[in-house]
């Protein structure tokens, strides 16, 4: 068969995992026996056209009939010439077994594929076959671990909020969260025209620091353009000025009391979102929110992919180093920490309000993915 003919696979049911399209030559069929080949050439000598021969022998492909007649004059003693081209290192049966191994376990290794075929081949032969089939390995997405119970809660959350329109997501919801900004981390991935094998030699690399100074921040926003400032969170201190513990419920309560009434003022249909961190679900925080008549969204566990403020944190950290690349090389001391806080707040103010709206209106797509995936992982 011509080498550019694509082999068609049976359509997979929707419940099976996604399969990458194969771009493989169709399997070579068995060669015609002498009797069939003689019958085809005899009919051709009688004056029949290829279509007429194919009508009499419908089980033989039209192209095979044409090529049999074309090559008749090149045969000696009615013997078929050897097929052109170098024989494949991997047989078609071995190839099929390897692909079935990949479909059964997408994380299968090259060593497993070598064991799946009976022939002894080099790793390069398998890599060449996979490249020909348009198959490659991708880095697995990092996602929080989910259980059936947590997936069920995520699905229930999506079913509860699925009827909100993009405009309602934009006007009603107020998203909040904490995030830690650390010096030397969070910059965007950089790209270069220098080949990887020369990057170390030319020092054309993207650097990061180990355990730089860091600061935790809190912020909230809505898609209608309202947002808080980027507020640094500090642990409580005693009368002697000594730090007592970490960020606790009293720190969060004081923060909410000073920020939320102004943020949500005048929006009677507002829904406040916070995750299930213990400092958020503490009784003093929960009771205060209830006393203020704030509607608080029941948040499903292990669901950072449903909170658009997570995307905002990534944009913030990239913006910091876009504005202040000097942070990469600064020493880790109190002055750098103070400078880091100022840079982060400046970067927060530089984020365009249209980004907040765009993040808010992604929620219908996130909800749909949750429902489609039965509460399991999304692409966000």
pLDDT in tens, 239-296: 766 666 778 888 888 888 888 888 887 777 888 888 888 888 889 988 888 888 888 8
H helix intervals, the chain: 34-45, 50-56, 62-70, 92-104, 110-116, 123-132, 148-161, 166-172, 196-202, 249-263, 278-281, 283-291, 309-323, 334-350, 353-360, 363-372
CA dihedral 332, 190, 138, 316 (to 10 degrees): 60
List all residues 6 or more positions away from 191 whose beta carbon is below 8 Å from its beta carbon.
none
- pLDDT of 155 reads 92
pLDDT in tens, 98-116: 788 877 788 788 777 777 7
The pTM (predicted TM-score) of the whole model is 0.67
Domains of the chain, with CATH numbers?
Answer: 148-372 (3.30.420.10)
CA dist., res. 314 & res. 351, Å (int): 12
For 2-24, what is the mean pLDDT?
42
CA dist., res. 112 & res. 257, Å (int): 59
For the chain, percent of residues with pLDDT exceeding 70: 84
């Amino acid at each position: 068969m011509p080498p550019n003919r694509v082999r068609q696979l049976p359509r997979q049911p929707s419940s099976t995992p996604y399969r990458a399209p194969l771009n493989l030559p169709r399997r070579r069929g068995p060669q015609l026996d002498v009797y069939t080949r003689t019958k085809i050439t005899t009919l051709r000598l009688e004056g029949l056209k290829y279509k007429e021969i194919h009508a009499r022998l419908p089980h033989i492909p039209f192209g095979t009939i044409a090529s049999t007649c074309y090559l008749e004059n090149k045969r000696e003693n009615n013997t078929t010439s050897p097929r052109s081209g170098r024989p494949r290192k991997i047989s078609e049966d071995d190839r099929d077994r390897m692909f079935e191994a990949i479909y059964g376990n997408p994380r299968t290794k090259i060593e497993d594929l070598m064991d799946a075929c009976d022939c002894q081949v080099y790793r390069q032969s398998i890599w060449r076959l996979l490249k020909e089939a348009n198959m490659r390995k991708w880095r697995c997405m990092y996602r929080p671990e989910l259980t059936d119970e947590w997936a069920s809660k995520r699905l229930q959350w999506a079913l509860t909020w699925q009827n909100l329109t993009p405009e309602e997501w934009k006007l009603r919801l107020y998203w909040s969260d904490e995030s830690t900004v650390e010096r030397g981390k969070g910059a965007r991935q950089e790209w270069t025209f220098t080949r990887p094998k020369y990057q170390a030699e030319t020092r054309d690399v993207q650097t990061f620091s180990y355990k730089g100074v860091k600061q935790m921040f809190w912020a909230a926003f809505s898609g209608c353009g309202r947002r808080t400032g980027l507020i640094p969170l500090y642990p409580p201190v005693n009368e002697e000025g000594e730090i007592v513990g970490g960020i606790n419920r009293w720190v969060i309560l004081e923060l909410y009391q000073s920020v939320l009434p102004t943020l949500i003022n005048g929006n009677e249909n507002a829904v406040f979102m916070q995750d299930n961190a213990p400092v958020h679900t503490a009784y003093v925080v929960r009771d205060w929110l209830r006393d203020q008549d704030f509607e608080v969204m029941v948040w499903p566990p292990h669901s950072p992919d449903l909170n658009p403020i997570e995307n905002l944190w990534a944009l913030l950290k990239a913006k910091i180093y876009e504005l202040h690349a000097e942070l990469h090389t600064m020493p880790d001391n109190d002055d750098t920490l103070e400078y880091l806080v100022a840079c982060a707040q400046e970067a927060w103010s530089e984020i365009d309000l249209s980004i907040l709206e765009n993040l808010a209106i992604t929620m219908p797509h996130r909800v749909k993915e949750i429902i489609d995936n039965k509460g399991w992982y999304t692409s966000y």
